[in-house]
Amino acid sequence: MQISGVTNIGRERVRNEDSCFAVSDEKKALLVVADGMGGHQAGNVASSLAVTTAEKFWQNIDGRELPDREKTRQMVKDLIYEANDLILAEAACSSTKRGMGTTITTVLLSGQNIIIGHVGDSRAYLINKGNIRLLTKDHSLIEKLIASGEVKPEDALNHPQRHILTRALGVERNLEVDVLEMEVEEGAVILLCTDGLTNLVKDQEILTASTAVSDPQLLTEKLIEMANERGGYDNITVVIASGIGGPND
């Protein structure tokens, strides 16, 4: 298995509010992307705190066997709860940080098993055998409007309310976390990204790029380059794990 994580400020923002984390040992890997809420103060602090929590989580499991799947799922969920509590506590101590928040999408890989924890509109994709599949559901107002039929999917990117989240870390204590577990085929690719990529690069284009570029480091750089060439009006973060189920390099 090979992993890569790259975050880029883009071409218009004065600050990068995205954070990411990608690490592996001989048997497993942890991938995280977090997109600080740009309309709030200290979004970069919020996303950084989310990743700091993930780093501590990894320290506790690095080189160790994971417990049974039910306990491991709860561990992933607890990681996100802990990050939420940390952000809320930090915001309560500083007027300049009040209202800060972040998305988080995290994937724990163990062999061919993946557990996804997700809040917000950063995404996780599965790429395999010439297909790309979105594994997460955006927690956004525009997603609700599309589901209700009030907005057509093709109109979503230009909708004035497209950036409004319905769920994020740092908003409230009682956070709802989506957790998904699945087995993937050997050799599959997992890709996590913030909306700085998906607002400018279509899913099919991500698939095409992944077919042309197999090295995860080169692929992350290629996708970020594509988003920047199209304006790069948001921060862009991509994290990739390839060769799942195979030996770690």
How many other β-carbons are positioned within 10 Å of the β-carbon of residue 106?
30
Q: How many helices (H) and strands (E) does the chain have?
A: 6, 10
Whether 114 is covered by a domain: the verdict is: yes
Q: What φ, ψ does residue 225 adopt, rounded to 5°?
A: -60, -40
How far is the CA of 180 from the CAs of 55, 108, 124, 169, in angstroms? 21, 11, 11, 18
pLDDT at 26: 85
pLDDT at 58: 98
**CA 135 – CA 126 distance, rounded (Å):** 7
pLDDT at 158: 63
Tokens of 120: 């917000």
Whether 73 is covered by a domain: the verdict is: yes
**CA 238 – CA 6 distance, rounded (Å):** 6
Whether 220 is covered by a domain: the verdict is: yes
Whether 247 is covered by a domain: the verdict is: no
Give me the domain span that covers residue 133: 2-242
Whether 218 is covered by a domain: the verdict is: yes
189 by DSSP, 3-state: which? Answer: strand
**CA 217 – CA 238 distance, rounded (Å):** 10
Q: Which domain CATH number covers 150?
A: 3.60.40.10
Contacts of 164 (CB under 8 A, 6+ apart): 140, 141, 142
- Block mean pLDDT (10 aa), the chain, length 249: 96 95 94 84 92 97 94 97 96 88 97 96 96 93 68 60 83 95 95 96 97 96 98 96 74
pLDDT at 224: 98
Whether 153 is covered by a domain: the verdict is: yes
- In DSSP terms, which residues pair with 131 in a beta bridge? 128
Whether 68 is covered by a domain: the verdict is: yes
Whether 61 is covered by a domain: the verdict is: yes
pLDDT at 245: 74
Interval 137-163: pLDDT, tens = 998 776 776 666 666 665 566 655 666
pLDDT at 98: 87
Residue pair 115/183 in contact (Cβ under 8 Å)? The answer is: no
How far is the CA of 166 from the CAs of 17, 40, 144, 145, 210, in angstroms? 19, 14, 9, 12, 31
- Structural domains counted in the chain: 1
